[in-house]
C-alpha cells in the first residue's frame, strides 16, 4: 500500500489540527498519528486532542520533525502523518516521507497565507482534499 496524500488549507495550527483530526476520527481506525509542525506547538496540540479527541490521545506523537524511532518501533502500524506549515516546509517533509517505508496517510495542512503555488495545483498533486464540510476525492487522482 502506498501512502495516500490528502491536503487542506488552514489559517493556523489549531485549524489544521481540527480539520485533520475530524477526518482521522471519522474515517480511520487503528492508526498511529504523528503531528509534524513547522512551529513548536506541542502543548496546544495536546490540549486540543485531550479535550476533543480523547480516543486518539494514546496514539498521537508530536514533533517538529519526523522521529525515525517512532516509525521503526512500530513497523507494522498504519501511520497518519499530519504535516502543518508553510509550503516549503511541507515539501521538505514530504520528500522524506515519500522515501520512508511506512504505510498510511499524509495529511498536508498548508498555511493559506504562505502558498506560492495555486491551490488548484496543490489539490491536483494530492489524492484527496479535506475542507470543513468533509473530504473530496481528487478527480485527477489515479487511485
90 part of a folded domain: yes
User: Cα–Cα distance between 9 and 59 in angstroms, integer?
Assistant: 24
143 part of a folded domain: no
Rounded to the nearest integer, the mean pLDDT of the chain is 79
The CATH number of whichever domain residue 96 belongs to comes to 3.40.50
Per-residue model confidence as pLDDT tens digits over 17-66: 889 988 988 888 888 888 888 877 767 676 767 766 666 656 666 555 55
pLDDT tier, 122 (very low <50, low <70, confident <90, very high otherwise): very high
pLDDT at residue number 83: 92
Count up the domains in the chain and report the number: 1
142 part of a folded domain: no
Amino acid at each position: 500500500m502506498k501512502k495516500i496524500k490528502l491536503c487542506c488549507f488552514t489559517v493556523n495550527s489549531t485549524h489544521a489540527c481540527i480539520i485533520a483530526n475530524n477526518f482521522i476520527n471519522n474515517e480511520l481506525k487503528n492508526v498511529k498519528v504523528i503531528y509534524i509542525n513547522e512551529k513548536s506547538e506541542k502543548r496546544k496540540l495536546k490540549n486540543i486532542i485531550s479535550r476533543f479527541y480523547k480516543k486518539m490521545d494514546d496514539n498521537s506523537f508530536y514533533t517538529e520533525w519526523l522521529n525515525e524511532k517512532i516509525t521503526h518501533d512500530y513497523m507494522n502500524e498504519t501511520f497518519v502523518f499530519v504535516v502543518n506549515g508553510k509550503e516549503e516546509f511541507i515539501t521538505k517533509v514530504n520528500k522524506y516521507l515519500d522515501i520512508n517505508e511506512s504505510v498510511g496517510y499524509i495529511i498536508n495542512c498548508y498555511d493559506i497565507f504562505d502558498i506560492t503555488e495555486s491551490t488548484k495545483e496543490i489539490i491536483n498533486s494530492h489524492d484527496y482534499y479535506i475542507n470543513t464540510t468533509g473530504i473530496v476525492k481528487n478527480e485527477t487522482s489515479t487511485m
